[in-house]
Amino acid sequence: MTTEARLDPRVQRSRSTVIGATLELVGERGIGGITVDAVAERSGVAKTTIYRQWPDGRSLVLAAFQTLLRQPADPDTGSLRGDLLEALGSLADALRDSPAASLMAALIDAAERDERFAELHRQEAAERLAVMHRILHRGRERGELPGDADLAEVLDLVSGPLFHRRYVSGTGSDRALDRAFAERVVDLALAAYGVRRDA
């Protein structure tokens, strides 16, 4: 049984309220604007109660971010294109709709200044990259990618456009970040390596 599961229900509710308030404030103010005072005011939970759980605002923000981490989709459809469509489609959904996506820029910024946030960012990225490398490695083993294909380069080609559209070029009505866009990205990237759409 986890420590979280053993917590008194009142403590669990209090923690959930504080974490929710923290994430709201990060979305509004960024990580640098988070103080225990601000979280206490937003959540209605006493500062003494918050300090019993977390020693400072940074530790609280770190704990809040950790609640957003999700295991990435790890499909095995039997084809490289099928796996990439599932994985990239799920990534597009997450980047469009997940609360974590709107806070990613704040996490990346904090990672430049605080090793604890840098480690959290590495953990999040490592899990996602491990799945993608397994997909690409299987595709290469099945002969769907050339034997000399640089898998890191292929990964950049299939995932980079989704992050660019989410964080750089915007998502207006004509630039939707959806599964149709992910499918176009996959097909364009695979075509560069001679993989046909029906492969």
Q: Which domains does the chain have, with CATH numbers?
A: 3-66 (1.10.10.60), 80-191 (1.10.357.10)
pLDDT at 148: 92
Residue 104 has pLDDT above 50, yes or no: yes
Task: Please state the rounded mean pLDDT for residues 134-162.
Answer: 94
Rounded Cα distance, 160 and 125, in Å: 13
Residue 29 has pLDDT above 70, yes or no: yes
Q: Return the higher-pLDDT residue of 18 and 70.
A: 18
Nearest residue to 108 (alpha-carbon basis) of 95, 118, 123? 118
Prediction pTM value:
0.80
